[in-house]
Each structure stands twice: as C-alpha cells, then as structure tokens.
Structure 1
Amino acid sequence: MKKYLKLLRVKHYLKNVLVFAPLFFNRTLFTSKSVNALIGFLAFCLISSAVYVYNDIQDAPKDRLHPTKRLRPIASGAVSVLQAKIMGFLCLVLSITLSICFGNLTSVLFVLLYFALNLLYSSGLKNRPLIDVIILASGFIIRVIYGAVLTNIPISGWLYLTIWTGAFYMGLGKRRNEIQKQGDEGETRPVLKYYTYSFLDKNMYVCVALAIVFYALWAVERNDSRFLWSVPIMMIILMKYSLDIEGNSDGDPIEVITHDKTLILLIGTFAAFLGYVIYT
C-alpha cells in the first residue's frame, strides 16, 4: 500500500485543512456545518490526489533525472502508468460525487476549477513564468473559498488577502529554492530559466511582509484586543519558515513544515491561541 499512498501524496492532504478555515474563524467549527466541511475536506483530498497522479504521469520522464523525484512511484516503476490512471480516475469520480451529494452546484464548480487549473498547469502552464506561481497560489485560496461556499460562510477580506499573499510567498520560495538547488537551467523544471534568484527572493519577501500587514489589519479590526497577541506569533512562524527554506530545502511547504518540530509546535500554539480567543 505504501507505493499507492505515496502516489496519492497523502502527506499533502494537510493543505486541505484550509477548507475548515471559514468555519474556524466564524466560530462555527463545532456546529452541524462542520459535517459539510468534513465531506468537503475528503472531496478535496481526492481531487488533489487525482491532480498529483496526472502530474506524476506527465512528469515521469523528467522526474527520472531528478535526485529525489526519481523515487516517485511512477518514475521508479513501482506503479505502472495504467494503474496510476485508474487510481486518478477513481479519485476524480469520487470527489465530484461527494461534492454533488453533499454540496451544491457552486462547490462542484470550484472542485472542477481546481482540477482544470492543475490540468492546464501539468499540461504546459508550469513552464510559463509567473503563471506557474499564480496557479500554485490559487490552489490555496480555492480551498478556502470552497469551504466557504460549502458551508455558506463569508470570508473576511483581510484573511482572504492574507492567504493570497502567504500562498504567493510559499510559491515563490519554492521556485527560488529550486533554482538554488538545480541552477536556472535545471532539466527537470524548464521554467527556472525564466527566473532569477534575485527576482524570486525580493518578491517572496514583499509577499510575506504584505501577509503580515493584512493579518495585522484583520486582528486590529476585531473587537477583542487579545487578537493582537497572535500577530507576533504569526511573525515568528513566518521567520522560522524563512529560516528553514534558507537552508538545504527545495521549498516545498508541506516538506518544510512536517520536517521541523519547532515549526509544528509554533503553528499548533498559534492555532490553539486563536481557538481560545475566538471560542471564549
């Protein structure tokens, strides 16, 4: 089973927790609406797996040239292309079925939008500078909007901007570290030849600064001054994340977070503090 779980990128399901963000910040996490959000979480896990499978099928020839990606199930030959196609198709069908049965037309459209964008990304847009990062960042915000649509909960404008800029920060950081590790002529990532380390570095830190500002504005807008204490915690989290990707990392957000116990503890502290303030 390990090779199939690796193919489905189960570890990356962590990103889909963003589906619960609207409920968490709207003080409705422990209501009946959480059932819809849980179904939405499962649907997004399945659709994201379908995307990863398609991407790995497309990238298999180039992945075999990469020092770590060559170990992926399809690139290594552990899973055949036919097996991967069957698993990807089943994930797609199950995701759409869950969205239709437990969601609404709009939520289904967002699932299809996510799949279509990533299909275009894997089919060639990942080789277009800026468009590749925009699609990567869009995946995060689509998860949040999907959760909001599924539960009929509005999203704060400041939080929306915080997630957008934070997603751009991580996407640009991923590309920057790929350049650092492969060079701008990397065979496995053709788009790198259009970027420079300096360009990615500068814009990456512009985005992280904006994310902090937008989050601080959201905290100031609350009626409870306790929210202000969460701002420095968020700043420390982003500084620790930046410190990690300045090291020997390819910049993948999930890999960075799951390999740093201190960062996990900081994120847990941040979530626990926010939960205490919001729900008391």
Structure 2
Amino acid sequence: MHDNVIIRSPLSQVRGLLALMRPKQWVKNSFVLAPLVFAGEYLNLGAVGHACLAFLLFCLGSSATYIVNDIHDVDQDRRHPKKSKTRPLASGIVSIPMALGLLVVFYGLLVWGWFVAPKVVLVIAAYMALNVAYTFALKNQPVVDIFTIAISFVLRVYAGAVALAVPVSGWMFVTTLCLALYLAALKRRQELIQSGTEGRKVLEQYSVSLVNHYAEMSATGALIFYSMFVMSTKPQLVVTVPLVLFGLFRYWYVVEEMGEGESPTDALLADWQLLLTIVIWVVACGWALRPVQG
C-alpha cells in the first residue's frame, strides 16, 4: 500500500517532521527534573547539567515512541476524522520513509547517549520497550493500558534520580503513579465523551462512570501519598499540600467544564490558573528545599 503522500513544500515537510516528534508532549518529561528539586541539587551546576541531559535524552526516547506509534497506527489514523488531518503521516505531509529516517537519527543519538549516561539510557530503553508493547498490544487491554501510561511517568522520575545518583523516596514513586493514573483515567473519560468507543478499541471496555471512579481513587491516593511523603521526609513542604489539592480540583474543573483532558498537556496549557499553580508549587518547593548555608 502506498504512503498516500501529498506533494508538500520542504517547509511543510519540516513542520510535519517537527509535529511527528510532538515537542509539546515534552512537557511530560519535566518529571525527569523532579529528583533535582527534591534532592535540593538545583543550585549545583553539575547536577543541573546531568538532569538536563537526562531530560533531553528522554525527549529523544519519547519522540521515538511517538514515531513508532504513528507508523503502526497510520492506516487507522487515516480513517479517523480528526487524526487524518492532524497527524503528519495520516495527512500525507510526511512519508513513512522520512519518518523511519528520523527514527534512525533518534536511535543513533540515544546510542551516543549510552556512552555518556548509560544508566539513564537503560531506563529510557525500558520506557521505550514498555511503550512499544503498549503500541502493539497493551493499549487494547483495559486497566493495563492506564497503568502502562502511569508507569511511563514513574520511569521518568527514576531516570532523573539515576542521572543524579540519588535515592528516590518510595512515597515519591507511588505519588507519581497515582497522579499519572489520575491523568490517564480522565484522558480515557474525555475520549469516551468526545469520540465514543470509535476513538480506541479499548474504550469499548470502559464507561464514563468507571473511569470517573478510577480518577477519584487515583486523585485521593496522590493527595494522601504526597502528604505522607511531606510529613515523613520533607516537613518543610507542608505549605505545598494545599497547592496540590487545588491543582487536582482545578484540573478536574478544566476537564469537566472546559472539555479539556483528552490531552493532559493541552489541558495544562489551556488554563492559566493551573499553570500558575504549578509555577507557585515549583517555586515553593525550591524555596523550602534550598540548601542552608552553614
């Protein structure tokens, strides 16, 4: 079957390749930087450099998984009313050979990364393997699909910890897992509401009521585990607990009343109050965890 490629200008193809990388989704990779903040190493230039390198390598890995996913789903996306116009491969802006060429470049850069930060790249390889399994099988398995998405966020945090060679509290891991489950459950909710069961095969196994329950449980877990993390290991962060609670409330408002949430990144960028809450939370964490000069 041909690639159904429409003749486009070189500039359009460059834009298509950039869209194929989904740079907007790199916001998710900011989880890689969490250990830098919570370890109090953000004033250490060496640690900042290691964390930024891990972030960049994770961006390469995540973009590679998006390309693999788009190549695998190209025929299905061409039949989708929205994706057939927005996805570079499905719309014909970028050809499959071009996508494969970009994928080879990313894999080559990750091989280079192996010689610079092998332990970080090993975590990224686990992330990529998990997402390949998601693309080819796990995304059609109810509940497993949501947990796969959530574990990807946990691996981001772990990559950041490995980059700095610092331990990560178990509370942080379970909080990240619950927060990611919350986002993934609301993503499925919005897909059901906006596209019905036609958007994804797995949506036939879900109902809005069920994923609402999942979201409620996950949000409650995220708040409880974050609070326990703060109380047990970082009591100076107690001021940030109300910010986390407000963020959970506000995100659900954005989903419920504004119709966002099918893309958590778009939902975040669409609401200034949510963005401001995250900025204040980051600043508050940075201030509370600042190194005390002896």
Normalised TM-score (structure 1): 0.94
- Aligned counterparts, 1:136-155, within 5 A: 136-155=149-168
Matched with 2:252 is 242
What amino acid maps onto 1:229 in structure 2? V
Percent of residue pairs bearing the same amino acid type: 32
2:228 aligned to 202, 217, 229, which one?
217
Q: Distance in 2 between matches of 1:263 and 1:43?
A: 27
Contact in 2 for aligned 1:23/1:153 (Cα 8 Å) = no
CA offsets 1:207-247 (integer angstroms, 9 cap, x no match):
001100111111212464x4211101111011110111113
When residues 223 and 2 of structure 1 are mapped into structure 2, their CA distance, relative to the original with a 3 A threshold, is closer
Give distance in 1, aligned partners of 2:212 and 2:250: 16
Q: Residue 111 of structure 1: CA displacement? A: 1.4
Q: Indicate whether 1:54 and 2:68 are aligned.
A: yes
- Which residue identity lines up with residue 159 of structure 1 in the other structure? M
Bigger shift: residues 59-68 or 198-207? 59-68
Mapped partners of 1:167, 1:223: distance in 2: 22
CA RMSD of aligned residues (A): 1.4
Task: State how 1:1-280 maps to structure 2 within 5 Å.
Answer: 1-31=14-44, 32-70=46-84, 71-98=86-113, 100-104=114-118, 106-183=119-196, 185-186=197-198, 188-222=199-233, 224=235, 226-247=236-257, 248-279=259-290
Q: Could you say if the C-alpha distance between residues 199 and 27 of structure 1 is closer, same or farther in structure 2, counting changes exceeding 3 Å? A: same
Q: Could you tell me how far apart the structure 1 residues matched to 2:179 and 2:37 are?
A: 18
Q: Distance in 1 between matches of 2:31 and 2:221?
A: 20
SS at match of 2:289: helix
2:73 is paired with a residue whose SS is helix
Contact 1:170 1:251 in 2 (8 A): no
Return the offset for 1:131: 1.5
Q: Which runs of 4+ in 1 moved over 6 A?
A: none
The answer (yes or no) to whether the contact 2:149–2:184 under 8 Å persists in 1 is: yes
In structure 1, C-alpha distance between the alignment counterparts of 2:148 and 2:104, rounded to whole Å: 22
Q: Residue 93 of structure 1: CA displacement?
A: 2.1
Cα distance change on mapping 1:217 and 1:250 into 2, 3 Å: closer
- 1:133 is displaced (CA, Å) by 1.0
Is contact 2:254–2:261 with CA below 8 Å preserved after alignment? no
